[in-house]
Amino acid sequence: MSVRVNPMFIDDLDSFGAEDVQLCYQCGDCSTVCPHADEVYKFPRKSMRLLQMGLEQKLETTLEPWLCYYCGQCSEQCPREADPGETMMSLRRWLISRYDFTGIARKFFKSRITEIIAIITVAVLTGTFLLFYGFSGGSIRIYDGEGAFLPSTFIHRFDLTVGAILALFLVINAIHMWYLVMIKGTPFKVPWWLYLKELYQLPWHFFTQKRYSECERKREHKFYMPWMIHLGLMLGYVIMLVLVMVFIELLQSGPKVLWQVHIFGYLATIGLVVGTIYFIRSRFKKHYIQYKKSHGTDWVFVVLLFIIVITGIAQHIFHRTGLLEVANITYVVHLMSVVPWLLRMPFSKWAHLVYRPLAMYLAAIRRDALTMQVSVLNSYPVVVK
C-alpha cells in the first residue's frame, strides 16, 4: 500500500507544539527508557521517525500517542534535546484535531485568538439567553421552585440539551477514530469477538488510569503525584457531570443541604479544586519536564476550569447563606463558563477523556489480532524455494 508523504507535515506540527523533532537522530534512547513501550507498540522514536518523514496518513492510524502519559523520562534522557515527550503530546493534540470531523479543533489549536473569541461568543450567547429567560418568567430574588430566576427543571432540560450536543460530537469523533485505527490502519482481519473479549478495558482504564500510575517514579520532589491528582480531577469531573445531568433538581433545591446528594458534590469539588491548583502551579513552577512547555490551549483549559470551580462554589455558598440575588447572578456566570467549556470539550485536549480509554481498548484488540496473525503465519511456513 502506498503512502503519500506530506513534506510540510513537520512544519504543521510546529503549531501543535512539536518544535524540535528535526533534531532527533534516531538513537532509540527514548524507546528504551519508556515504561510503556513494548514489542508491539514501540514509541516515541518510531512516532518521531514517522513525523520526520512526513507520513501523515500513517500517523493518523497509530495509537502510540495515546499510550504515552508523558512522564518525561524520554525528554530527560534525549541526547539531542529533541523532546520526544512533547512530540507525543503534540501528536495527541494533532490526533484530536484529526478525529474531529468539523475542523474546529484544528482552528482552536492553531490560533489562540479564534479559540478565545469562540469561547467569549458562546459565553455571551449563553448569558444573554439565561438572563432573558430569567427576567421573562421569574424573579431574581427566588433561587429555586415556583417563580425562580433559573428553575431547576429548566436547567435540567438545558443541561441535557448541551450534553446531547456534546455526546453527539464525541460519538461521531470516536467512530471516526475507530475507523481510522481499525479499518484504515489495520491491514489484517480483526475477529468481532475480540471486541467483546477486551471490552472490560474501557471502564478499567477510564476509572483507574492504571497505566498512568506506572509512569510515576521516584522523584526528588516529594509532591510528585500527577497520577493521583489527575485521577482525582477526572473522577471529580465525572461525578459532577453525572450530578448535573441527572440530579440537578436535588442539587439546586435548598437551602437545606441534602447530604446523600451533596456529599458527592463536595468530594468532586475537592478533586477539582486540588487538581486545578496543582496543575496551574506545576505549569508556573515547571518542576518537571512535562510542564516546561505549555501550549496555549493548556492554559485556556486550566484557567476556564478554575473559573467554573470558583463560581460553582460561590453560588453554592451564596444560596445557603440566603444571598439569593448574588447566588442567581453567580449561577449565570457559572453557566456562562460551563457551556463553552462543555461545548469545547470535543475540540480540545479534554476529549482525551474519551479517546484514551478507547485507545487502550483498541490497542488491546489490535495486539490480540496481531498475535493471532503471527501464530497463523508461523503455523504455515512460507516456502520460497
Binding site for other proteins (CB under 8 A): 25-33, 37-39, 42, 45, 77, 79-81
Rounded to the nearest whole angstrom, what is the least distance from the CB of residue 81 to other proteins in the complex? 5
**CA atoms of 120 and 211, how far apart (whole Å):** 36
Q: Which is nearer to other proteins, 73 or 297 (CB)?
A: 73
DSSP H/E element including 87: helix 84-99
Rounded to the nearest whole angstrom, what is the least distance from the CB of residue 161 to other proteins in the complex? 49
Q: Is the peptide bond before 35 cis (omega within 30 degrees of 0)?
A: no
214-220 CB contacts, 8 Å cutoff, 24+ apart: 214/35, 214/36, 215/35, 215/36, 215/69, 215/70, 215/71, 216/71, 217/35, 217/71, 217/73, 219/288
The sign one gets for the Cα dihedral 340, 112, 86, 44 is positive
Rounded to the nearest whole angstrom, what is the least distance from the CB of residue 340 to other proteins in the complex? 37
Q: Which is nearer to other proteins, 65 or 340 (CB)?
A: 65
Rounded to the nearest whole angstrom, what is the least distance from the CB of residue 33 to other proteins in the complex? 5
Please give the full DSSP string across 189-256, using - where no structure is assigned.
Answer: ---THHHHHTTTHHHHHHHH-HHHHHH----SSTT--HHHHHHHHHHHHHHHHHHHHHSHHHHH--SS
Rounded to the nearest whole angstrom, what is the least distance from the CB of residue 371 to other proteins in the complex? 16
Q: Which is nearer to other proteins, 67 or 170 (CB)?
A: 67
Rounded to the nearest whole angstrom, what is the least distance from the CB of residue 80 to other proteins in the complex? 6
**CA atoms of 43 and 57, how far apart (whole Å):** 17
Q: Which is nearer to other proteins, 26 or 128 (CB)?
A: 26
Measured CA angle at 224 (ends 211, 85), to 5 deg: 55
Cell 490502519 belongs to residue: 185
Rounded to the nearest whole angstrom, what is the least distance from the CB of residue 39 to other proteins in the complex? 6
